[in-house]
Chains A and B, each alone.
Chain A
């Protein structure tokens, strides 16, 4: 019975004031309630910054009518005196899936990928679904609403978390008493987006993040074109997209790097994405700030790893350990850096984690006002609903919380959460908090009584002269009952009972073990309200966090290396210029450039490096790499010229540092070889610690990956329905795309030639990123680096492009280049090859390690590349193999990995040799650089030292010490009884040409 009462109390509700007035009524008389409810004597947070002591909140019909210090209370008001309790606007979760079931994955397709869309009348890509409406799937969930209400939420913005464009969300009040007619605040509150494909379609494109980015861009171009009336067909997706244009755009990035990518697109199209982050934004907080976007920040901090088994602990990476240690600082750092953000419960396993983790964020430096803003005014304003939500200003929904005190204090109790004027009782505020320490005297003995635990159902702890006495208590309906066993020999009890009154003391009647009745009083000790013994006032605790590095993992740097003035003395200098190899030479570096090469140089203020017995070379350039990339292939189409690797440069790949250790300073990050026309390249310098933009070489020439042979015809895996399936088809793909691009280009050229007037009369051609890119190739503004193996296809591509009046820039891999070296030389194409790979597939049967030598002797510009994150860090050895296989001179062999790739990448005016005026990208070697015994001791890029062999070993020590420290912290956490997770070992995926 009691239980039922309690449940009733929880969901006691005022009469539904919003009952639709035009609905017929057959179950009684029609009633209308226009009464007011006034909450007086409250500490009233009208907004996070506008706080009124002894304030009054007046509500009527689910809305705030007035709030302030002197509110006139109408006659027909129910007045609730809060006696100093606090009122806050209730919280808003802007990123929710409340009441919207996640779509189920469609069972897998056939043995071949699906290239065409499944829908008709919509956009050509199934993953673009702006027409979706969360409202159509929305079903109010009482249980989930209750959990959220308990955590202080009043409104959620909920959406279908599926697809790249996910359609509109619905803004809903967590009003369990009303129905959808009342609680739906906006059925098209925001449009949601992400980089992830829908599970409801097996359409292959896009298979990569860069593909998703290209798709979004093309969609925005198409929408504009459509809007301008250029399309002769109907597209329901684009029409929905245009209709959603004015809504807030919420982008689920889920990670800082993805956030940068989303922000990049937003900036290109003048959009304002509200980016849902991943909680790791603090790792590059300056860059996050520079996106100028607003954020939605999760509170799903990682829990500590169970590191009590030293062996298992050894598998946990420093990065993962740090994330545990540092992640709770994320909200605080966002706030300190002036980044506008809302908090969300998204990602939390259970609703109760919200308060725990929010408290943690506060302990780790989040300001209370900012926290409140992030839960109220900020989400309201991001949704364009500041006039209705997030504050308790006149006209707002009556969504508010009543608490015992500061809502962000651990010991504060949330009493009530009102939603649209409906009361939800979380904790009965009429229950007096009797927790504390009392002096209790019974039968001449002075006991210490501690009442502690949950304030609505506390427990007792009774001690006599510090000896614990077994006791039990109940506290119900305003009555306290305590019984205890004063002597341990017999099971006899003293029973005490008392009604709780306004007094701080407890007094009542009791029965001793002998049955005698007594009166008793327990006198509360002053200043001991919190019987938990912890008198912590708020969140003043400071937690030790280890410093963030760039990137925030092993070998990351606390500060980026700076350009220095450095004088290398007495080195053997491999100039790659007419001077050849200079013995006992000096090289001066200043402001990022090589200033002088000579002997007996001096420069005041320069750091002198004694290079006696050592070799100084220009940095190694890898023409073909797939490291530092978040994805490699966009395999969803047979041409993906619309994608660019620049979108997916991952500056946090540990292999960047590992490659520096092998003297690599620059590389071309190529798209893979899944399709004949691949994506555009990123040319980067390995500036470990910098962000992606800083790594990408300024004004780098445009490149694009092409591919031939087994990979593009999908010989080595199950796929039978994508053209081409043979080398014959590969040629036709090229002819087709080149011809279309040529016609596309002419169309635009003609259109652009028109006068403004004529243009207004003429339908604009559709802007096509893919065609635009291929037209750049035809116009010699972009260069092809083509994955190739056998002579027939190599010959074919040269003949095809010659018909279109341009040249292939580079054949990469080019394992049978030696068979057509004369033709290559005549065409003017370079060859960038492996030194000695062969026999891994049929088309490399005739691959020979003499390939580089033969092509070189035939006059082809030859480079040795890696296509492999391990090999690239010893490309010097691979170049040396050309000395063994084919007798290439050592100087020429060295150029295979420096000057020649620079030439192939059109960067030889800036790098590739040691010459005054060129970039100071230098490597100091312990030995002859082509020798197996050579170790790169220093690797310099633009005059700053990014790698130092000795320093690396010191960092090893630092990593060990830091891990040790973090492990101790985690063990402490476990000993405190905090939940831990089992150790996990990171695995990074190795990416190659054919990685999908």
Chain B
């Protein structure tokens, strides 16, 4: 333990020299870098012991064993012996940068009014300078999907990276998909009118589904025609039909999931992702057969029903992976934003309950990239992809050993300082801790 403490102090000293008000985005990668000696977790389920990871101009140029690497062709070598290298972790379905402080309404930009508003885009409201966003990086979370909330079709999300001057810089994939909150087949009794407060089968379910079906059909018809006069909502879902955008359906119940899968199949929607999926394991075969991937809820939640397996939220990843479903993790839930920095530990929790540790890493790297459609440039440590990665002192999925010493986004070495580390240092110094 002494060791860890020492690491902390040295980090502290290192960082206090670069203290600034808001973390300034790093400049473009200058000179090639090789990280040597670490255990590399590639994000595709594989590891390389005693590895070398090289990158230049923001792209990975070498991923392999140290033995076969050419050290001399790199301008900077970082010795990471005994440490671990991971691809930057990717958080799905967050509201990072859309809200700063929950209780202050003025800082809240995560939802718009109107039921079906696919044209509303999260990207332009994303605050690249949020203090919450910068607190992700010291834990290895370097990218996220920024998702609008509420309504039936909430709007269009984008994928961003966490070291940017503004939203335009931040965008990794603008407008990656459309988000839909699938109707619920159960609805709460009107307790204020003296009705049973329990949930009862919804009388409006088919009507609500029909509303969505009808919108999609109309949009499809519109897109085949002259498109005049222009209709913003219809145009916003164009990508669903040509496969350039995903449809993210936020849904938990078994019946609703089946309905959502059938809905997309019948309406020419190319790529469906289930967000949540509490009961997805009950229809895992259907999902696997239709190439529907699932971003499951964070395991740090309670079972949905009193009778459920006490460990169901932890078991879900294994139940789905065993059936061949591509699984990621989404952030919906209380303190969606602040909790996103715990993404590695969510993955670790799934590893505690049945899946392999590398599969757990994959959920928040390779799989996440695949699900979000950015796997051509991110998600795994593979030659040619973005050099978005970090070095951890130990197992990054375990909070005891998730100690990040270096993080790179597109080859730029990013600051690991935050509002919080600054306060930590200020008061540690005040009390003469060190």
Which residues of A approach B to under 8 Å, CB–CB?
311-312, 314-315, 317-319, 553-555, 654-655, 657-658, 661, 710, 715-716, 818-819, 821-822, 836-842, 845-846, 848-850, 854, 857-858, 869-871, 874, 877, 880-881, 883-887, 889-891, 927-928, 930-935, 952-953, 956, 959, 963, 982-988
Contacts and interface: CB of A to CB of B under 8 A. Distances in A.
A935 B103 contact: no
Given A311-B254, A821-B427, A854-B424, A555 B398 contact: no
B163 to A, nearest CB: 20
A846 B424 contact: no
Contacts of B200: 982-985
Contacts of A311: 185, 253-255
Contacts of A710: 103
Question: Contact residue range for chain B?
Answer: 35 or more
A959 B255 contact: no
Interface stretch (B58-66, B85-93, B348-356, B363-371): B348-356
A840 B348 contact: no
Max chain A CB contacts within 10 Å: which of B303, B306, B311, B338?
B306
7 contacts: A317-B306, A554-B306, A822-B431, A842-B101, A857-B428, A887-B1, A985-B199
B306 A889 contact: no
A841 B104 contact: yes
Task: Identify the 4 closest CB pairs spanning chains A and B, nearest first.
Answer: A841-B103, A932-B348, A985-B199, A984-B198
B153 interface: no
B400 A839 contact: no
A311 B428 CA distance: 56
Contacts of A318: 306-307
B305 interface: yes
Contact of A839 (B1, B100, B198, B399): B100
B154 to A, nearest CB: 22
Given A657-B310, A870-B301, A884-B403, A839 B132 contact: yes
B215 interface: no
B399 A819 contact: no
Nearest to A817: B427
B298 to A, nearest CB: 10
Contacts of A657: 310
Contact of A819 (B8, B353, B427): B427
A858 B433 CA distance: 8
B400 A317 contact: no
Nearest to B333: A870
Nearest to B199: A985
A148 to B, nearest CB: 23
A717 to B, nearest CB: 10
A884 B101 contact: no
B422 to A, nearest CB: 9
A880 to B, nearest CB: 5
Contacts of A836: 338, 341-342
A348 to B, nearest CB: 16
B278 to A, nearest CB: 12
Contacts of B383: none
B398 A933 contact: yes
B309 interface: yes
Nearest to B139: A884
Given A319-B306, A839-B338, A983-B201, A818 B423 contact: yes
Contacts of A983: 200-201
A554 B307 contact: yes
B302 interface: yes
Contacts of A887: 1, 4-5, 7-9
B89 to A, nearest CB: 14
Contacts of A927: 352
Contacts of B307: 317-318, 554, 959, 963
B311 A661 contact: yes
A294 to B, nearest CB: 29
Contacts of B102: 839-841
A849 B420 contact: yes
A332 B337 CA distance: 54
Contact of B103 (A842, A886, A928): A842
A839 B433 contact: no
A598 to B, nearest CB: 25
Contacts of B419: 846
A987 B188 contact: yes
Contact of B431 (A821, A890, A932): A821
Max chain A CB contacts within 10 Å: which of B201, B254, B310, B335?
B310
Contacts of B337: 839
Contacts of B352: 927, 932-935
A841 B188 CA distance: 28
A655 B308 CA distance: 12
B334 to A, nearest CB: 8
A837 B334 CA distance: 11
B302 A658 contact: yes
Given A841-B102, A854-B427, A881 B306 contact: no
